Amino acid sequence: MFRRDVLKSAAILGAGLALPAGLDILIDSCDAAPRPDLAVATGQSPAAITRAAIDALGGMSKFVSSGDVVVVKPNIGWDRLPEYAATTNPEVVATIVQMCFEAGAKRVKVFDNPVNDARRCYTQSGIAAAAKKAGADVSYVDSRKFSERIINGQVLKQWPLYDEVFADKIINVPIAKHHGLSKLTLAMKNWMGIMGGSRGKIHQRIDESLVDISRVMNPALTILDAVRILTRNGPQGGNLRDVKKLNTVIASTDQVAVDSYGATLFGMKGRDLGYVRLAAKSGLGVMDLSKMRIKKVKA
Amino acid sequence: MIRRLRIISQAIFLLLFFFLFLQTESKGMDDLGYPVRLFLDFDPLILITTLLSAHAVSVAFYLSLIMIALTAVFGRVFCGWACPLGTLHNLVGAMKKAKDRLDLAKWHRLKYFILIFLIASSLFTLQITGIMDPISLLIRSLSVSVYPAFNSAVNSSFDAVQQLNIQSLADITESINSFVKKTLLSFEQPYFQQAAFIGLIFFSILGLNLYQRRFWCKYLCPLGALLGVISRYSLMKRSVSEGCTSCGVCAGKCQANAIVGEPAGDGKAWRPAECIACHNCDDVCKVKAVKFGFRKSAEPVALDLGRRRVITSALAGVVAVPLLRSAPISKKEYSEPALIRPPGSLTEREFLQRCVKCGECMKVCITNGLQPTLLEAGLEGLWSPMLVPRIGYCEHRCTLCGQVCPTGAIKQLTPEEKMEVKIGHAVIDKGRCLPYAYGQPCIVCEEVCPTPQKAIWYEEVTVRDRNGKKVTVKQPRVDLEQCIGCGICENKCPVKGQPAIYVLSAGESRSQENQILL
């Protein structure tokens, strides 16, 4: 299953690179340099910066093919309004859904397995309404649709994961927040939202568990919402004084790189996060930002 | 003709009742959007007993004055035309073939004794009407027992089909399933303590119809009794014209034993207090001798309860007050640690003076955490709501229980007020908590703690494992100033069975005595 996805995305990537330069107007109009590994877009409009970040990586059609069923996985974990920065920005989610359809996606599914009551989380976060309006299938997690999956990781050998997440493509859309135990919750931690079972237990070996679970998830794209970030009392917040507006969206195909860059938003380094260190060491992605082509755009 | 109208009216009210019942569930917004407690608002028995017991009542209850006025004009039309429990009795009664025997002819007085008992006890501040008030009884039984059972039955049927693994069948049932789920089923399967017990009582009451139709309405219902007392003076009267052949057919069709004169069953003598205006008698009369109208009835039979019996019932109601309050829970300084009341609950005394145990709050509770008490609040508080965090915590921004409470036992709070209210406090069991007892990282409790400044904080402590290796763990601590007792920590604590953090009622905002801090 995973191998097939890897092959598929490799094929797509290959196809994208093989395009004659003259045909790919988008890339050419930006610059002639090779595509960046990570894009950082800043600006007032969450929709515009989301679009700019993805376009900087070559556009959504580089990651989503015509006829794909795409899962867009935001963080809808808490019953909070968008201003509190506990859940992914609804405009960012809606823009991604829209871009998936523009790239020819057949269906786009949006869901999360929240900690608070799902109905309140979906409604109060504004994500359900925004994603639905953009055309996505927004559904609550169905407890019957979890199956035990082989993970064979360092700590997690197997775990019940949500069936629906294994679509043609998955786009991880976390929000950047403080977290008591893991210091920050960014992209890799967002996979907790597809886990079933007694997931609180993974706190006992949080760093290893996050790497294990991230290894079996193979996102076509990771888009970190840093329009607002939660700097204290995370991951749930509740105090507007703990929220900082950065008007930033970060995108990459490398989830470790996203988390490493995400750490800098909080005045930390990637190496300060146990799971980023561990992930880089095991070859899941790149932690060292100096080794990455980072493109900053304004929108 | 009128009988047919009555049946249509019964169907409409029953459907309305079920519709409102199904709407007593969150859709994620702060408000429900429907007046889900409407039937309770129209219940004059709750109005009167709450006024007596608590000397106050929420404004919506004055709607029940409309019911009193209607009864004064048309008699017990509520019982015959609208009461959802009455209609269910009709439906179950239809399963019975044989004619009702009238050997309990004098037992109809029992419901008046029950009414007198309840009113007398409420006069002395005891509110236990809800145990027998038909609307409270019905909503409670459906919420806690029948509806969860229905959910479970439907879900397991779909699961059974799914397990057959026939693809074509599975596709069909899956689409039916999603439709049923959206319209009829609960968002998540509810579970309640005492579900089977409360259900057993409810089904026994329905089962009595197989002995005598509308057994409950004839002999037990205190609301029926109250409306009966009013309908003695109602303007609408039954009259029988000269043409009556005394065939007695009408008496046999009467739903409420209202036509039982001497000689028995001649069809003329009529008890206005018993009549529920079902119009079976005029419908069945072959010679069209029976009429209802605003004329004087020829032979109304007076309601004769007997002075001694009335006094005894009233005395029993009075005696019940100190009797039920002689348990330790009534002691002022005593507080039951497990009795975590919903947010916005009045002080325990005031709460019990109002709560009618209708179960609306338990139905609407978003996490299924509100459960019926057994003896935690004494026998007086039987089936009143308490939070059992291991089953479900109090959702931080949810205010639904206060919105649906008919009597104001749980105040209606704004989300801002609600988030400030304390319903208890969390206690850490260091003998079970992973970072304390086993040197294992965890702090799930800190992660899920919803207060803006987290009530659960942690201290980084370096401990040694059995090999002498140093391990740094974060040990959670509870800040009593911040903790609101919502119980999400207990609910999400990964230590199975007896959790390593749990909530007790002390510290609740509503009480002056039940406090820990200075």
Q: Does A95 touch chain B (CB under 8 A)?
A: no
Q: Does A203 touch chain B (CB under 8 A)?
A: yes
Q: Are B395 and A116 inside 8 Å of each other by CB?
A: yes
Q: Are B398 and A120 inside 8 Å of each other by CB?
A: yes
- The Cα B14–Cα B176 span in angstroms is 24
* B442 vs A contacts (CB less than 8 Å): 181, 200, 203-204
Residues 25-44 on B with a CB inside 8 Å of A are 26-29
Q: Does A239 touch chain B (CB under 8 A)?
A: yes
- pLDDT given for residue A26 in this prediction: 47
pLDDT at A8 over 80: no
Determine phi and psi for A55, rounding to 5 degrees: -65, -35
The minimal CB distance from A238 to the residues B28, B452, B493 is found for B452
Are B363 and B391 spatial neighbours (Cβ–Cβ below 8 Å)?
no
Give B185-238 as a DSSP string: S-SS----TTHHHHHHHHHHHHHGGGTSTTHIIIII-HHHHHHHHHHTT-S-EE
Amino acid of residue B340:
I
The minimal CB distance from A203 to the residues B396, B442, B451 is found for B442
- Omega prior to A114 cis, within 30 of 0: no
Are B389 and B503 spatial neighbours (Cβ–Cβ below 8 Å)?
yes
Range A24-27 contact pairs with CB under 8 angstroms and sequence separation of 24 or more? A26/A55, A26/A58, A26/A59, A27/A58
Q: Are B29 and A116 inside 8 Å of each other by CB?
A: no
Classify residue B437 by its DSSP letter: I
Q: What is the pLDDT along chain B (518 residues), one digit of tens a residue?
A: 899 999 999 999 999 999 999 999 999 999 999 999 999 999 999 999 999 999 887 777 788 999 999 999 999 999 999 999 999 999 999 998 888 776 677 889 999 999 999 999 999 999 999 999 999 999 999 999 999 999 999 999 988 888 888 888 878 888 888 889 889 999 999 999 999 999 999 999 999 999 999 999 999 999 999 999 999 889 998 888 888 888 888 888 899 988 875 555 566 788 899 999 999 999 999 999 898 988 766 567 777 888 999 999 999 999 999 999 998 888 888 889 999 999 999 999 999 999 999 999 999 999 999 999 999 999 999 999 999 999 999 999 999 999 999 999 999 999 999 999 999 999 999 999 999 999 999 999 999 999 999 999 999 999 998 999 999 999 999 999 999 999 999 999 999 999 999 999 999 999 999 999 88
* B493 vs A contacts (CB less than 8 Å): 200
Ramachandran region of residue A37, left (φ > 0), alpha (ψ -120 to 50) or beta? alpha
**Closest Cα partner for A96 from A127, A138, A58, A60?**
A60
- The Cα B228–Cα B274 span in angstroms is 6
Q: Does A133 touch chain B (CB under 8 A)?
A: no
Report field, pTM of the whole predicted structure over 0.95: no
